[in-house]
Structure 1
Amino acid sequence: MKAITVHAFDDDSFEGRLQVGLGLARAFGGHVTFVNAIPIEASVPGDFYGAAFAAMVPVWREAADRLRAKTEADMSNEDVPWNWVEFAGASVTGLLRHSAISDLLVVGAHEPQIDARVPSTTVGDLALHARCPVLVVPDGQDIIDVGAPLLVGWDGSAEASRALRTAMPLIQRASRVFLASVQENRAAGDDYDLPPLAGAEYLSRHGIECEIVELPQAGRKVADILRDAAQQRGCSMIVMGAYGHWRLAERVFGGATRDMLRDVRVPLFMTH
């Protein structure tokens, strides 16, 4: 996990993302890339979008310059190699493009200036389409303990399997690993490919012992069950596959992924 990309945006959670990215880079001897999206370059000729939009361009440019200057000042005291990338367009577009050459994207749990109770569409799109895993950092979090216990949400799906594989650098550092399976009531023919033991067998081949935890659903949401299980076991992170059920329905109507993103309490490692 050497190439770590951090979403750079001047919101209240940026400092936390920066510190989490630095912590991971130090733990793995990695490099941090800050990706900052600007709605449109200041040098675009003409007024294609109206006077109001044109008037905002220098404001966005100035804000981006301030954030970069502040980050440069902060990073001058750090011992981690880094670089800054600016992108003209939406944040999700720039982050998706850079994910092709990243080992991990570090993003915030919420859209800036949007109600915190609303799941981030940016994070949802990244979890679904990024070419590397996504680490969602809760508000107020500025440190990550890679040696703490870790919980893996396991349902035997291809998405959960990929999350397990891509999280191996973190799993190998964890003091304890819990492979948590929620006993959902599934319809006939909706079984996944792999049983709970398959995840444990995969870990054992990498020399990792895990504790299999079977959690009854009892009418509760999967997200609530996983959050409580992680908290009770002192886990510093939850690893899970994103959008593992019928994806269109989950994107539109909800599901475990959306429920997890609605209330992120510990760092959430996700991949599709």
Structure 2
Amino acid sequence: MPFKTIVAIIQSERDVSRVLDVAIPFADRHESHLIGVHAEALAMPYTTAVGFPDTEFIQANADLCKERAEKVQKAFLSRIETSGVSFEWRSFESFSGDSALSGVESARCADIVIVAQASPDAKDSVAADIDSLIYEAGRPVLVVPHAAPLISTFRRILIAWNGSREATRAAFDALPFIIEADATEILVIDPVETAAQSMDAAGAEIASAFARHGAKVSVSVQESRGHTVDAVIHNKVVETGADLLVMGAYSHSWIREFLFGGVTRNVLQAGDTAILLSR
């Protein structure tokens, strides 16, 4: 089940190398078509102090956006034209200038989307809205970490499993990675005993499903013991040396997580491993 269409969200010139270092080898291995997406903000109707359109400022801003878009496109093409990978480039203008938002429609027709996590010390005026991309695209989103080595073949995978619809979607979206991996561990935190499944058997059925595909799978059941779920996941990533974390996104309301925080948002901010998220 190879990924034949990949959308790469390129928010800034800095993103080109981080995203393509992962996307190009991945596309080459799967013989994929790689679509680069970048957006710039539309020129806003600024006015002078007396209420007249500030044409000089508007033109200068438009020229700056055009120059930035050309630099990003040039950097993208210089990396990919010699790779032998099938590709295309899509450039957009929008009020937000957000490449993730502008790339949603392209993402909906892709097998997977790759986007770089924003670095905490980034100077870009607009960071890609990864939250909205995950929530709206309906496709798996591979988030490239801002502070970890960049790889395209994942050897140790950790799946955060709670049996939810979102976790199920993410786990099966990750199946091509899981089949390739040397080891996949299914992490179940604070399992709830039900009429259909005991606490001791949590994660066993999904592990069996992946094993039938030839994947090397194990199950780990842990109690949070007063720690947050994202802290338990982070500790397990460090403990196992996982190079890919797979989890369902926004099991709770996206607005709730945006306002009050949540597992998805906290994990996205960690930046220490690649993350595959689906909803």
Q: TM-score, normalised by structure 2?
A: 0.83
Relative to structure 1, is the Cα distance of residues 157 and 104 closer, same or farther in structure 2, using a 3 angstrom cutoff? same
Gaps of 5+ in 1: 187-193
- Structure 2 counterpart of 1:26: 28
When residues 236 and 212 of structure 1 are mapped into structure 2, their CA distance, relative to the original with a 3 A threshold, is same
- Paired residue for 2:214? 207
Which of 85, 90, 101 does residue 93 from structure 1 map onto? 101
Q: Distance in 2 between matches of 1:37 and 1:103?
A: 21
Shift in Å, 1:24: 1.3
Give the distance between the partners of 2:153 and 2:81, measured in 1 at CA: 24
User: 2:226 & 2:187 partners in 1: Cα distance?
Assistant: 17
In structure 2, what is the equivalent of residue 77 of structure 1? 82
Amino acid aligned to 2:118: H
The TM-score, its normalising length taken from structure 1, stands at: 0.85
After TM superposition, the runs of 4+ consecutive aligned structure 1 residues lying more than 4 A away are 111-116
| Aligned position for 1:190 | none
Q: 1:153 to 1:208 in 2, by over 3 A?
A: same
Q: Does 1:128 align with 2:135?
A: yes
- Root-mean-square deviation (Å): 2.6
- Bigger drift between 9-18 and 171-180 goes to 9-18
Distance in 2 (alpha carbons) for counterparts of 1:146 and 1:64: 30
Q: 2-side partners of 1:253 and 1:140: how far apart?
A: 25
> Contact between 2:13 and 2:71, CA under 8 Å: does it hold in 1?
no
Larger radius of gyration: 2
Of 45, 48, 69 in structure 2, the residue corresponding to residue 48 of structure 1 is 45
Residue 122 of structure 1 aligns to which amino acid in structure 2?
Answer: D
What percent identity do the matched residue pairs reach?
A: 24
Q: Is the 8 A contact 1:99 1:132 kept in 2?
A: yes
Structure 2, unaligned runs of 5 or more: 48-53, 194-200
Report deviation, 1:87. 1.1
Partner of 2:39: 37
Contact 2:101/2:132 (<8 A) preserved: no
CA contact (8 A) 1:182 1:216 kept: yes
Instruction: Say if 1:229 and 1:75 are closer, same or farther in 2 by CA, change over 3 A.
Output: same
What is the CA deviation profile of residues 17-44 of structure 1, one whole-angstrom value per residue up to 9, with x for unaligned ones? 111111211222212111010212x7xx
Indicate the SS of the match to 1:244: coil
Aligned position for 2:64: 59
The correspondence of residues 5-20 of structure 1 with structure 2, limited to 5 A, is 5-20=7-22
Q: Is the 8 A contact 1:5 1:105 kept in 2?
A: yes
1:256 matched residue in structure 2: 263
User: 2:249 corresponds to which residue?
Assistant: 242
